[in-house]
Amino acid sequence: MNELHWTLQALVAALLVIGGVFSLVGAIGLLRFPDFFMRLHAPTKASTLGVGGVLLASLVIHWAQGDHGLHELLITLFIFITAPVSANLLAKAALHQRQPSKAELPADQPQP
C-alpha cells in the first residue's frame, strides 16, 4: 500500500470525523427523543450522512490508490435510496396503527 499525501490523509480523517459525529448525533437523538416519530427522524437522517461520510473517505482512499471505487458508489446509492423509503414506510405503519405523538400541533390547526 502506498503512502497517501498528507492532504489526502487530512481529507480522509475529516470525512471520518464528520461521519462519526453524524452517527453519534443520530444515536443520541434515538435515545433522547420522546416518541416514535421523533426517534425515527434522528437516526435516518444521521445514518445517511454518517455512512455517507465514511463511504466518501473510503472512496477518496481508493481513488488515490488508482481504484475506481465502484463498491463505495453502489453502497452510497443503496443507502441514499433505502433509508428514506424505509423511514417513510415505518412512519406510515405507525400512523396506520395510530401511534401517539408528543409533538404539539401548529397554532393554525384545530385541536382533536
- Whole-angstrom distance, CA of residue 47 vs CA of residue 53: 10
pTM of the entire predicted model: 0.76
- Whole-angstrom distance, CA of residue 6 vs CA of residue 86: 39
Q: Taking a C-beta distance cutoff of 8 angstroms, is the pair 38, 103 a contact?
A: yes
pLDDT in tens, 32-60: 888 888 888 887 877 788 888 999 999 99
pLDDT in tens, 62-78: 888 888 878 888 888 88
Q: Taking a C-beta distance cutoff of 8 angstroms, is the pair 68, 5 a contact?
A: no
What grid cell was written down for 32? 433522547
Half-sphere exposure of residue 90, counting CA atoms within 13 Å on the CB side?
14
Q: Which residue has the cell 500500500?
A: 1
